[in-house]
Amino acid sequence: MLKIGPYELDSPVLLAPMAGVTDLPFRKICRQFGAGLTTSEMLTSDTSLWHSRKSSKRLVIDEQDWPISIQIAGSDPLMLADAAQACVELGAQIVDINMGCPAKKVCKKAAGSALLADEPQIEAILRAVIDAVEVPVTLKTRTGTEPSNRNSPRVAKMAEALGVSAIAIHGRTRACRFNGDAEYNTITEISSELSIPVLANGDINCADKAQAVIKKTGAAALLIGRGALGQPWLFRDIKHMLNHGELPTPLSMREKQHVVEQHLSALHAFYGPVQGVRIARKHFAWYCAHLPDGEQWRRKFNQLQEPEQQLWLNNNYFQWLISYEEQAE
């Protein structure tokens, strides 16, 4: 049983926080398919900016999304400590610190994965946040600043000594961004040396790969990010593979239609008809990437301006897919 602080999670397959993706509608879908923990989109540690439309949506939580985990990012220890306290006041039961984001706009503020180049600052941040809150503090980071300096084993040991409850390692350095293949040797080293849960992250996009990464690294859990885009049922597949050594019965096209329809409707309700339609486009594109003739239907979908039109096209697409599937049989 995976345990983070006092919380026993019912699955070792967790959803990685992703800015612009892991909003409440997506987290609820992933939970539905067995994600053991979902974490909010990354929040700036500058709480004065939390009133913006984007940040205010990232603060929306659901009591059913238990335990509630909120991720914060920044470079100033005191600001991060204040942000952590504010998250707890809002209902966070776990506070996650981002030291893995490679985005330029984050790194230029000496936050995210840029912090890997300043281990004393990492120590100051972790001390400040852990001292500021009574809930578990977790850390998400990368293997190092660049391939010649994979310093995350040292950072991980420091984090454990300071009281971090779990650490997630993405198998790339800051310099690698998302290029090339993730490597798992560094994660294996960290897993063998720490007693707190180590979460393996990077390029896990199918159940077979998940099983191989767990076996290779000895990690306590898997953190699924981009692999879940367009296939939130991946959590179900991986959990079943880890428990039974085989894939579950695949979802039918009718079942997938229901999932996509549910997701689109939730986005429309959560963001409103204008913004919801815009955000639905990228999610529909991710679903299409895993389905036959998806590009053609994605282009049609992107031209639509109303929620009802999007739902209508989704229904037509899946009716075509169901017919296509039946003919193939």
- Nearest-5° Cα angle at 63, 270 to 66: 115
The per-residue pLDDT for range 32-53, each reduced to its tens digit, is 999 999 999 999 988 888 887 7
Look over the chain and give the mean of its residue pLDDT values, rounded to a whole number: 93
Question: Closest Cα to residue 297, out of 308, 279, 284?
Answer: 284
Tokens 């990354």 -> residue: 42
pLDDT of residue 104: 65
CATH code of the domain occupying 2-244: 3.20.20.70
What are the extents of the domains in the chain?
2-244, 253-328
Q: For residue 272, what pLDDT is reported?
A: 96
Catalytic residue positions? 101
Tens of pLDDT, residue by residue over 253-303, are 999 999 999 999 999 999 999 999 999 999 999 999 999 999 999 999 999
Closest CA to 126 of 134, 116, 137: 137
Find the helix packing angle between 234-244 and 207-217, rounded to 10°: 50
Q: What is the pTM of this model?
A: 0.93
What was the pLDDT predicted at 103?
A: 66
Question: pLDDT (tens digit, 9 = 90+) per residue, 171-191?
Answer: 999 889 899 999 999 999 999
Nearest residue to 224 via CA among 14, 41, 33, 28 = 14
pLDDT tens by residue, 156-165: 999 999 999 9
Burial class (CB in 10 A: 0-12, 13-18, 19+), 10: exposed
Contact between residue 232 and residue 30 where contact means Cβ atoms under 8 Å apart: yes
- The pLDDT, as a whole number, for residue 328 is 62
Quick one: CATH architecture of 253-328?
Orthogonal Bundle (1.10)
